[in-house]
Amino acid sequence: MSPFRFSTSPLDTATLQRDVRDESCGGFASFEGWVRNHNEARQVTRLDYQAYGPLAEDEGEAILDEARSKFGLRAARCVHRTGSLAIGEMAVWVGVSADHRDAAFAACRWIIDEVKRRVPIWKNEHYADGESGWLHPDNTPADAAGQR
């Protein structure tokens, strides 16, 4: 299975973790990104994720390759959801295994930051008042002058 991929169905962490297991590893770290019910003081009811498939997969693979050599990881995986997600659902999972915990912690943090910065994925927030809006990387509206 490809180390970086998209999923249209809910993520199962037990299965994902099995993929990074390695007997030479003493440390495993993972990050889960969840859909929260608020942003910028507005009540959020759901999130829609869109990804530019082929380019996003290539960029995601490149990030995991870089992480493996930068931190000396044994394995690194990332799965990101696309489509419509409810509050509380897991939107992204990152898991890494390494010989020691320092590399695992640092790499996990680095990977999620790079994914958010580089991979062409977008989220559209839907609000309790019926409005919706695409977000910038800092979680502010992408279209401040537009419909909002």
Partner 1 sequence: MPERPPPEQTIRVQYYALLREQAGRSDETLTTAARDPRELYAELRARYPFTLPPEMLRVAVNAEFGEWSQPLKSGDAVVFIPPVAGG
Compute the least distance from the CB of residue 26 to partner 1, in Å. 27
CB-nearer residue toward partner 1: 7 or 99 = 7
Restricting to residues 60-119, which ones interact with partner 1 according to CB under 8 A? 80, 91-92, 112, 115-119
**Per-position DSSP letters for the chain, written without gaps between them:** --SEEEESS---HHHHHHHH--TT-SEEEEEEEE--SEETTEEEEEEEEEE-HHHHHHHHHHHHHHHHHHHT-SEEEEEEE-EEEETT-EEEEEEEEESSHHHHHHHHHHHHHHHHHHS-EEEEEEETTS-EEEB-TTSSBTTTTTT-
Q: Which of 12, 40, 58, 102 touches partner 1 by CB under 8 A?
A: 58
Per CB under 8 A, 146 contacts partner 1: yes
Per CB under 8 A, 143 contacts partner 1: yes
Binding site for partner 1 (CB under 8 A): 33, 49-52, 54-55, 58, 80, 91-92, 112, 115-124, 134-137, 139, 142-143, 145-146
